[in-house]
Amino acid sequence: MPTSTISALDSPSGFSGEAQDRFQQPATIPAALLALGIVFGDLGTSPLYTLQTILHLMGDQFTVEAALGSLSLVFWSLIVTISVKYCLLVMRADNHGEGGILALMMMTGARWAGRGRWLVIMGLFGAALIYGDGIITPAISVLSAVEGLNVATDIFKPYTMPIAVAILVCLFAVQSRGTGAVGKAFGPVMCVWFATIAVLGVVGIVHHPQVLAAFNPVHGARLLTTHGFLGFTVLGGVFLALTGGEALYADMGHIGRNPIRAAWYCFVLPALVLNYAGQIGNFIEAPNLEANPFFKLAPDWSIYPLVGLATLATIIASQAIITGSFSMTRQAMQLGWFPGVRISQTSAEEYGQIYVPFVNWTMMALTLAITVGFGSSDRLAGAYGTAVSTTMVLTTALLYRVMRRRWHWSLYRAAPVTGILLAVDLAFFSANLLKILEGGWIPLTFGALIFVVMTTWHHGIEAVHRQNARGSQQQDTFLTKLRGDNIARVPGTAVFLTRFGKTVPPIVTNYVKRVGSLPETVIILTVSFENVPRVRSKERVRIEELEDGLWHMTVHFGFVEIPDLPPALAVARKDGVPVLDAASYYIERYDPISRKHRNLLSRWRVALFSFMSRNSAHAIDRFQIPSTLLIEIGRRIEL
């Protein structure tokens, strides 16, 4: 039987040679400026609350030596975790140019059904925790910026939380309009922000230049050893300076690792270090345990403009985590770990600009609840960091597997590097566990719920496919029966969507059994999501003609692509497939129910999967199929 491969129409989500090498993009000034606007929002706004949190943790014990020790810990944490771990090592682990913990998980080669199940669990749980971080980052960032008004006057103090809520509502409300136009201004705004905090830092250093002695790691070690348990607790505050580290890796596919590295080493890191040093220098010169040390750097006349600029920077930081959550949802959904949800492409040029209504409104509700519940960035700092620190530990563990499997590092090379990184990660992780009762349980619980949803969906889908496999027929058997029973072929074209590529699925066999006929042209269509971000256009569609009028077609998409079937199928006619414009698309929609005699836990998971299955996005939403051409066939199935 003839088999042929055809190319799909090039589309914005199509994979080209230029897109494949995007992660190798040179570090030009425009590319680095783009990185400032997309990647560094969270890291860049951490000076608003990091040292303030440390100061409140230590209270009266925040002496000059303790201040120098805290600055030393922040500086060396940025060097080890961001400069070395993420920029040099983790960002080297790209999955065809794509980053993020799910991409890292796929690089380990582990499978749920194989020996590497624990690696899959770590990757999934790390991805789930990013959602937990996503509901706290906008709240603490915007609150900390608006609280700067209190440095100038107490008039706004009762309205700090309502103002932050209003800003957050507007932020989530505009997501459906896309971020293309606004995004063009993100880079210049963040450039002004980093330049501003660097200048403020220099002013603080001038007041007390002896603060530069804190770059000696002895000061940090002395803080940890002389203050006992309190010194260990301070690590939870120090970690707030690192919470945007995962964003560097997650957004690598959008920008490229070279521009991110250049922006970090040449601009972002110096600006952050100068500002942290300036805050400590200014504090030593004029100690104040109550005021935010960041805003105390600024002269009185500049407080209002600085609050406005800080608010813009925090909105950009929040936008980055929201967009990252959208991208994570799409990846998880197309890899089979998340129920189908409606996704809108908000830009015709950029595949990364998408909008996921369900995720957007869920995150907004939870973020507003946290903002109102905690009321201040100082109180919210207790809930911040637990999810990110856990994800960083899991990233290091997965990275070790990549070192050994993909980079072919020897044990004697991989183990010491991983050991050092893991020691730092576990220290921060342990310190953040102390925050659980203060609110750290919130992102962990939310992440655990997302993890349960992801694993339940995957188990359910696999069970449905096993049931369908039992009802499918081999191609030769089906064709023989088709001829032997003299099944009538009626005019028309039918496209049956199925996951099965080697056999004839139940949707086709049941159609023949119930209707007693088959259209003249039948296309058994399989949509396959691959473990790579994008699929080359020439490899998009594969066609096999089983016999006259009966075809099997497979359309391949990467896990970051929007699956748009009609354009991908339009060129199939070039290879002899009949015109598909008037075809009817058939798809089964299942109503899963639990088999009798299952235990309570199994029945509960089946009930959860059934609920998700009934409420997940239809094929018309996921694959862009015209509503007038889609026919859904319902079927109850026992699991």
CATH number of the domain enclosing 48: 1.20.1740.10
Same-domain check for residues 369 and 478? no
Residue 181 has pLDDT above 60, yes or no: no
Amino acid sitting at position 147: E
Output the average pLDDT for the chain: 83
Q: Among 137, 135, 112, 134, which residue's Cα sits nearest to residue 123?
A: 112
pLDDT score, position 23: 46
pLDDT score, position 20: 44
Confidence of residue 89 (pLDDT cuts 50, 70, 90): very high
Tokens read off for 321: 């985590």
Residue 2 has pLDDT above 70, yes or no: no
Strand partners, 630: 585
| pTM for the predicted model, two decimal places | 0.81
Residue 273 has pLDDT above 90, yes or no: yes
**Is 459 contained in some domain?**
no
Higher pLDDT, 19 or 416: 416
The answer to whether the beta carbons of residues 194 and 268 sit under 8 Å apart is yes
Confidence of residue 26 (pLDDT cuts 50, 70, 90): low
pLDDT score, position 13: 35
Higher pLDDT, 371 or 571: 371
**Is 125 contained in some domain?**
yes
pLDDT digits (tens, 9 = 90+) for 412-430: 999 999 999 999 999 999 9
Same-domain check for residues 240 and 361? yes
Residue 565 has pLDDT above 80, yes or no: no
pLDDT score, position 3: 35
Tokens read off for 499: 């996951």
- 108, 150, 178, 185, 256 from 350: Cα distances, Å: 28, 40, 11, 16, 14
pLDDT score, position 8: 30
- SS3 assignment, position 90: helix
**Is 17 contained in some domain?**
no
Confidence of residue 575 (pLDDT cuts 50, 70, 90): low
Percent of the chain with pLDDT over 70: 89
Same-domain check for residues 94 and 225? yes
Query: Rg of the chain over CA atoms, in angstroms?
Result: 27
CA distance 236 to 184: 35
- 112, 500, 508 from 464: Cα distances, Å: 16, 12, 16
Which residue reads 């949802």 in tokens?
329
Number of domains in the chain: 2
**Is 32 contained in some domain?**
no
**Is 466 contained in some domain?**
no
Burial of 575 (0-12, 13-18, 19+ CB in 10 A): middle
pLDDT score, position 395: 94
Percent of the chain with pLDDT over 90: 28
Confidence of residue 140 (pLDDT cuts 50, 70, 90): confident
Residue 355 has pLDDT above 60, yes or no: yes
Confidence of residue 9 (pLDDT cuts 50, 70, 90): very low
Q: Among 287, 282, 313, 312, which residue's Cα sits nearest to residue 298?
A: 282
pLDDT score, position 347: 57
**Is 434 contained in some domain?**
no
Q: Among 228, 254, 252, 277, which residue's Cα sits nearest to residue 78?
A: 277
- 80, 81, 229 from 225: Cα distances, Å: 20, 21, 9
Same-domain check for residues 370 and 480? no
Confidence of residue 179 (pLDDT cuts 50, 70, 90): low
pLDDT score, position 483: 79
Higher pLDDT, 523 or 96: 523
The answer to whether the beta carbons of residues 505 and 468 sit under 8 Å apart is yes
Same-domain check for residues 188 and 61? yes
pLDDT digits (tens, 9 = 90+) for 323-338: 878 878 888 887 888 8
pLDDT score, position 587: 84
pLDDT digits (tens, 9 = 90+) for 277-313: 999 999 888 887 777 889 888 888 888 899 899 988 8
pLDDT score, position 562: 73
**Is 558 contained in some domain?**
yes
Higher pLDDT, 86 or 178: 86
- SS3 assignment, position 277: helix
pLDDT score, position 346: 65
Confidence of residue 183 (pLDDT cuts 50, 70, 90): low
- 44, 169, 506 from 318: Cα distances, Å: 12, 12, 46
**Is 556 contained in some domain?**
yes
pLDDT digits (tens, 9 = 90+) for 29-84: 777 787 888 788 889 999 988 999 999 889 889 899 999 999 999 999 999 999 99
Higher pLDDT, 22 or 78: 78
Tokens read off for 402: 């990549």
pLDDT score, position 18: 38
pLDDT digits (tens, 9 = 90+) for 232-270: 999 999 999 998 888 888 877 767 788 889 999 999 999
Same-domain check for residues 358 and 480? no
Q: Show the CA angle centred on residue 250, arms to residues 431 and 379, nearest 5°.
A: 35
pLDDT score, position 592: 80
pLDDT score, position 486: 81
Are β-strands 541-547 and 3-6 bridged in parallel, bridged antiparallel, or unpaired? antiparallel
Average pLDDT over residues 370-382: 85
Same-domain check for residues 180 and 325? yes
pLDDT score, position 394: 94
pLDDT digits (tens, 9 = 90+) for 184-243: 678 899 999 999 999 999 999 998 899 999 999 999 999 999 998 998 999 999 999 998
Residue 186 sits in which domain range? 39-336+345-374
Which residue reads 């566990």 in tokens?
433
Residues 6+ apart with CB under 8 A from 401: 108, 110, 116, 119
CA distance 4 to 499: 20
Same-domain check for residues 363 and 501? no
Residue 435 has pLDDT above 60, yes or no: yes
Spell out the alpha helix ranges (H) of 472-599. 475-484, 506-515, 565-570
pLDDT score, position 529: 80
Residues 6+ apart with CB under 8 A from 213: 68, 219
